[in-house]
């Protein structure tokens, strides 16, 4: 993840959709200057939103000071605004000399008396097995309800699928996934992974309906397709 994308993911814009738009700007940002100037068409393709929704979200981000207008314009018509992301300066790292404890030179083999005695009297510690460490890591990622400000991160095949959706479907699918999980009392330890599963399942049933129509058979209506998706999700473990 780039520095700009990491910064954008930690922000809290007025609306969840604004956060998705901010991540889209971060994906187009210069690594050094943090300046970006994606066109409205590029933002529509990246987010899957229509032109009106994109322009409204950009205005919201400007008002929240999350997009800074540099005053410059680019493009063939010189009408595309050049924005700058107000990324904070990365704090300087502590030098090596400041981290060395005051126990003598770095290569010295002489230890303080108390530390030496402690090492001599302490029983040897058994190394923690890799299996135990793995289970401990799993326990730290407990299942939880879907966040109220959940915004899917578009990567790989999921981004390609969403880019082909008609305007408005992205918001519809996010709401449908949230409503179904709330109704069924389902929780997940990784909601981004759950979102990718939701997109794959929805796409698979859409392809099945298209094949049925081409074969001359009556395709199931949207309600039955949604029921099939829900049935498939009942068999998925969201841990």
Q: Are 146 and 178 in contact (CB under 8 A)?
A: yes
Q: What is the structure's pLDDT at 224?
A: 53
DSSP codes of every residue in 16-79: HHHHHHHHHHHHTS-TTT-EE---HHHHHHHH---HHHHHHHHHHHHHTTSSEEEEEEETTTT-
Instruction: Give the three-state DSSP class for 173.
Output: helix
122 vs 235: CA distance, rounded Å: 51
Q: What pLDDT does residue 85 have? A: 92
Whether the Cβ atoms of residue 153 and residue 1 lie closer than 8 Å to each other: no
Identify the CA nearest to 238 among candidates 196, 189, 192, 181. 189
pLDDT along the chain (239 residues), means of 10: 85 89 91 90 91 92 91 85 80 44 51 54 60 52 84 82 84 86 85 85 73 62 55 57
């Amino acid at each position: 993840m780039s520095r700009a994308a990491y910064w954008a993911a930690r922000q809290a814009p007025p609306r969840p959709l604004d956060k998705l738009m901010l991540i889209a700007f971060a994906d187009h940002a210069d690594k050094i200057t943090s300046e970006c100037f994606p066109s409205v068409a590029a933002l529509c393709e990246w987010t899957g939103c229509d032109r009106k929704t994109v322009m409204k979200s950009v205005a919201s981000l400007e008002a929240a000071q999350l997009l800074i207008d540099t005053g410059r314009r680019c493009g063939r018509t010189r009408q595309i605004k050049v924005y700058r992301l107000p990324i904070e300066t990365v704090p300087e790292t502590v030098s090596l000399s400041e981290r060395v404890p005051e126990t003598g030179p770095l290569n010295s083999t002489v230890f303080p008396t108390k530390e030496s005695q402690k090492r001599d009297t302490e029983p040897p510690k058994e190394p923690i097995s890799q299996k135990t460490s793995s289970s401990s890591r799993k326990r730290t990622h407990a299942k939880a309800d879907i966040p109220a400000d959940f915004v899917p991160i578009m990567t790989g095949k999921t981004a390609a699928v969403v880019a082909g959706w008609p305007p408005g479907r992205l918001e519809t699918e996010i709401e449908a996934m949230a409503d179904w999980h709330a109704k069924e009392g389902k929780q997940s330890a990784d909601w981004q992974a759950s979102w990718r599963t939701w997109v794959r399942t929805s796409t698979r049933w859409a392809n099945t309906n298209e094949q049925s129509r081409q074969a001359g058979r009556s395709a199931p209506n949207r309600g039955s397709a949604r029921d099939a998706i829900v049935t498939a999700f009942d068999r998925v473990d969201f841990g």
